[in-house]
């Protein structure tokens, strides 16, 4: 417990909260920029089981922001690099490695064993796949995204909150996003914070709101979200 000493005395955590964190299982899809800080935060906090899904290899252009990886690792699998670093950081938790490209064919079985899912991917298609699977499996999903100096996170609790498709429809196109380390790491850390608040059972206004970060103005804004009763993904889901 020495390892968690500095968080055990936080009133919102305590021994009971630490036990909940230790029993939690969280899947992070994407071990890139949006995954890096989140995975370190979850491992540092002592989340009992962390799943990591990734199929990509490390490119030099990743290294302006993807702290999980090293220059030496360029060309090797992000999954191996992430596991090596995270196991060295906290060897007392369980890591599950999923070397797959997430699709509609595998997403439901992938997310099934986990309490909640963090979407730390770089494309809309995979975000939609995870949204569909999490709504169907009634699994909380935290989705983060960045573009240049801006970023946002959305917490999706199927049947209770707006899902990704309520917010964006089903046909949002992919645009290559520029990525700046402080912005992407802020969003990544906030996803871990949202996940841990959920694990701790703490009140979390993100259930109704999208959190938007403006890295140019250094400001946060919350935008009220409403479920779309005609949403093709969650419209028919009962609360
Ligand atoms: Zn929806």
**25 CA to middle of ligand 1, Å?**
25
Residue 237 is assigned to a structural domain of this protein: no
Residue 25 has pLDDT above 80, yes or no: yes
Distance between Cα 165 and ligand 1 center (Å): 5
Residue 207: what pLDDT?
Answer: 85
Cα(163) to centroid of ligand 1, in Å? 4
Query: How far is ligand 1, taken at its centre, from the CA of residue 13, in Å?
Result: 32
Q: Is residue 239 part of a domain?
A: no
Q: Which burial class, exposed, middle or buried, applies to 114 when counting CB atoms under 10 A from its CB (0-12, 13-18, 19+)?
A: buried
CATH number of the domain that residue 63 is part of? 3.40.50.720
Q: Which residue has the tokens 């499996």?
A: 137
Q: How many residues in the chain?
A: 239
- Banded pLDDT at 206 (limits 50, 70, 90): confident
Full domain range(s) for residue 98: 2-224
119 backbone dihedrals φ, ψ, rounded to 5°: -95, 105
Q: In this model, does residue 71 exceed pLDDT 90?
A: yes
Read off φ and ψ for residue 82, nearest 5 degrees: -65, -45
Kindly give, in sequence order, each residue whose CB lies less than 8 Å from that of residue 104, ignoring residues fewer than 6 positions away.
129, 132, 133
Q: Is residue 232 situated within a structural domain?
A: no
Distance 195 CA to ligand 1 centre (A): 20
Confidence at residue 177, expressed as pLDDT on a 0 to 100 scale: 79
Q: How far apart are CA 222 and CA 99, in angstroms?
A: 35
Residue 238 lies in a domain: no
Asked whether residue 62 is assigned to any structural domain, the reply reads yes
The Å distance, Cα 230 to ligand 1 centre, comes to 8
User: Is residue 231 one of the residues assigned to a domain?
Assistant: no
- Distance from the alpha carbon of residue 64 to the mean position of ligand 1, in angstroms: 34
Q: Is residue 98 part of a domain?
A: yes
pTM for the full predicted model: 0.97
31 confidence band (pLDDT: 50, 70, 90): very high
Assigned domain for 153 exists: yes
What is d(CA 122, CA 30) in angstroms, rounded to the nearest whole number?
A: 8
Indicate the number of domains in the chain. 1
């Amino acid at each position: 417990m020495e390892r968690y000493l500095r968080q055990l005395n936080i009133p919102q955590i305590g021994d009971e909260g630490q036990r909940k964190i230790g029993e939690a299982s969280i899947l992070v899809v994407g071990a890139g920029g949006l995954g890096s800080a989140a995975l370190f935060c979850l491992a540092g906090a002592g989340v009992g089981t962390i799943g990591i899904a990734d199929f990509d290899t490390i490119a030099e252009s990743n290294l302006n922001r993807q702290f999980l990886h090293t220059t030496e690792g360029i060309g090797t699998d992000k999954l191996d690099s992430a596991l090596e670093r995270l196991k060295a950081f906290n060897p007392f938790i369980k890591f599950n490695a999923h070397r797959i490209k997430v699709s509609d064919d595998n997403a439901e079985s992938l997310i099934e064993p986990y309490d909640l899912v963090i979407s730390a991917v770089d494309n809309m298609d995979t975000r939609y796949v995870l949204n569909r699977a999490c709504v169907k499996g009634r699994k909380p999903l935290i989705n983060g995204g960045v573009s240049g100096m801006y970023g946002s996170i959305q917490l999706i609790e199927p049947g209770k909150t707006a899902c990704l498709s309520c917010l964006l429809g089903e046909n949002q196109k992919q645009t290559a996003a520029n990525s700046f380390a402080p912005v992407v790491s802020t969003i990544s850390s906030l996803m871990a914070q949202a996940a841990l608040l959920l694990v701790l059972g703490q009140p979390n206004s993100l259930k109704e709101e999208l959190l938007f970060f403006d890295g140019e103005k250094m400001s946060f804004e919350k935008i009220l979200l409403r479920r779309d009763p005609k949403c093709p993904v969650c419209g028919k889901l009962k609360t």
